Structure 1
C-alpha cells in the first residue's frame, strides 16, 4: 500500500505542476484513486501492474451496488484512466487496463435558461439609488452580458476591466485567461457602481484591508459565490414571474440567446471559455426546441 501511495503522490504533483488543475479537481482525483486502492486491497491485489480488465469489471459492479450515479462512475473511471496513463508515461506500468472500459452514457440534461421577459423583470428590481442596489444591478448585467461563471465573476478585479474597448479579462478554469466583451448596459451599470456604490461600501474597510476586487459585500469584503447566490435569491423574492434561479442559469441564458439570434457555435465556445466544442453543443438542444416552436406557431402547414 505504501508503494501505491507513492505513485499517487507523483500523480498529484503532476496534476499540480504540469496540468495546473484546481485544488478542488485534485482532491476529487485523489478520492477516486484512493477508493480504487481500497477495492484492490480487498481483492488481494498487491500491485497496480496486476490489475486486469476483469478486476475493473468487478469494480464497476461494486460501484453500481453502492448506488453511484452514472455521472459519478464515469468520473471515477476517467480519473483512473488518467492515473494509469500517467503511470505508463513514467514507465511504472506496461499497459492501461482502463483504456478498454467504455464509460456509462451521461444523462443529457437540457440547460435551464431565462426568457427575455423574465430578465427584463429582474433588471428593474434593484434600487440603483443605493450602493447595494447598484452592485446588484452590475452583477446581473455582468452575468448576463458576458456569460462568465460565477466564480469568474467573483474573481474580477478593477484592473481587469477595460472600459475603452468594453472587455474584461477573465481568469477561468485551470488558470486559463480570456478576454470577454461586455455591452452598453453592463458598461453603464459598472461605471455607476464603481464611481458610487463600491466607494461607499469600501469605505467600511480599514486601510490595511483594501483590495481591488470588483464586487464586494455590504462590509466591503470581496463577494463570494455563496454571496452572489444569496443576492439572486433575495431578488427573486421580489418577483412573481420566476420561481427559482441559480447563478449558472445566466450563463445558460447568455449562450442560448446568442445561438437563438444566429451566433456561430465556435464564437460562443470561445466566449464561454469551453475547452471542447462538445461542452457548447448542449445548447443546440435548447435552440432546436426554440426553432421548432417558431415553426409550429408560424408555418401554414405545421
Structure 2
C-alpha cells in the first residue's frame, strides 16, 4: 500500500505539490492523472525518496521507502526508461541491480523472458528502441518480485502489441494482490486498465475514486436523439425542462438532450406524434470528465490559430 499525507513540495516560489493526500491500495490498478505540470512525476519521486518534501510524508507498506533495505524487493518502479547506461547490456544492467539488492541471479533471465527481451539480453542498451527500453524498465521493476509497483508513462514508444501486453501485465499484477500505481496521459489506457483514479491539478487533489465514478462526473452526459422533426421536438423537450443542442456536424437531424431520461423523451415524442430515428444514452466519457474537471489546472494552454 502507498499512503500520501499532506505531501508538499516547493521549488523556489512555486508550489509543485500542495498538501496532497491519497491512498493506493493493493489488488487493483490505480491510475494517476493530471495535466502537464500538475506534479505527478514530483509526487512519484517523493514517494521513492528521490525528492525531499517540504512537508507531509509518503509511506510504502507503512514506512518511508528509504527505510526499506534492498529496495527492489519492496517497490519496483519505472520512472524514465532512458535513464540507463547505454554501454551496458540488458543482462549486465539487471545483474548489477540483482547483486546490490540480494536478488537471485536466476531472476535476471526470468524477467527478461517475461518482458520479451530474452533474445536481447546481450545487446547494449544504447541500441535499444524506446519500446525495448520500456520493456527493460518493466523488467527492472519486476526484478525483486515486489508487492508495490509504480510506472510513469510506461507505454510511451510501445507498438499496439506492446500496449496490449502492458495492459494485461498490470491487470495480472493487481490480480496477484500487488499495489499497482500507473501514471499515464492516455485516457483509453486508463479506461481499459485502471480500477481507481487519483487525479491532481496544480499539485492539489481533484479526485480519488473509481474510474466509473469519475467518468460519471462529466456534464456531457446526455441522450442522442435522431428525428426529422427537430424543431418540434426541441420545443417539446425544452418546455419539459431539458437542454437541447444539435450534435456536431450531424446538423439538425440529431440532437443531444440533457436533463431528461430516455423513457421520458420517448414518451413526449410519442405524445406529440414525433417520429424518432435514434434514441441513445451516451456512456460516460473519462476523457470528457478529465478535460472538464482539470480545465482550471492546465498550466500551458494553446491558442487558436486562424
TM-score band (shorter)? Answer: under 0.3
Larger % of helix: which?
1
Larger % of strand: which?
2
Q: TM-score, normalised by structure 2?
A: 0.21
Q: Which has the higher contact order (CA 8 A, sep 6+)?
A: 2
Q: TM-score, normalised by structure 1?
A: 0.22
